[in-house]
Homo-oligomer: A and B are copies of this chain.
Amino acid sequence: MNSNYKNPWQTHEIKNPYSNPWIKVEHATVTTPAGTPGIYGVVRFQNIAVGVLPLDDEMNTWIVGQYRYTLNQYSWEIPEGGCPLGTSPLQTAKRELKEETGIIAENWMPVLAEIQLSNSVTDEIGYSFVAKGLTIGASEPEETEELDIKKIHFTELLDMAMKEQIQDTLSLCTIFKVKLLLDQGVL
């Protein structure tokens, strides 16, 4: 549906005022779709956001609690990690699930693919998966991470999501879509 639409923005010059291993900021001078002069600051991500919702045979799942530096706030989320551009979101999902929860899963099903997390300013995209056929082992968190792990029933997680006790959008979007797929009998 979207292939016939041409880019109405013109870009004249791009500067790179900041970068670190995770993001690169581009400052562009542009002509807007209305034909007026303007600027656009784009935050380019070096990683894709990847989330996993594990489900055991009794419909239990596992969530991860961590302090989010950006918002100065504690946050419960589905297991998530960054996938370097050009590598496989599914491999990242498998690695992060194992590292954060110790879980290995036999069956993987895509839930979200190439969603745009904040497309007015960033080019960050996200993927998520449901993991089934679980074997529980020991977690191996990265050294910068201080994580709490909690096993809860999916019904309780959905309830937390509906009441906004989950605020991370990749988690919310995955939980809601998993519920709709379960209701459709697809999962």
Contact = CB atoms under 8 A, between A and B. Distances in A.
Nearest to A116: B167
B18 A119 contact: no
A39 B22 CA distance: 11
A32 to B, nearest CB: 4
A179 B181 CA distance: 12
A133 interface: no
Interface residues of A, number: 73
B112 A164 contact: yes
Interface stretch (A53-61, A91-99, A100-108, A169-177): A169-177
Number of copies: 2
A3 B72 CA distance: 11
Interface of A: 1-3, 5-9, 17-18, 20, 22-23, 25, 27, 30, 32-34, 36, 38-43, 45, 49, 65, 67-76, 82, 112-126, 143-146, 162, 164-165, 167-170, 172-173, 176-177, 179-180, 183
Contacts of A119: 68, 70-71, 75, 167-168
A18 B20 contact: no
B116 A34 contact: no
Nearest to A82: B120
A114 B172 CA distance: 12
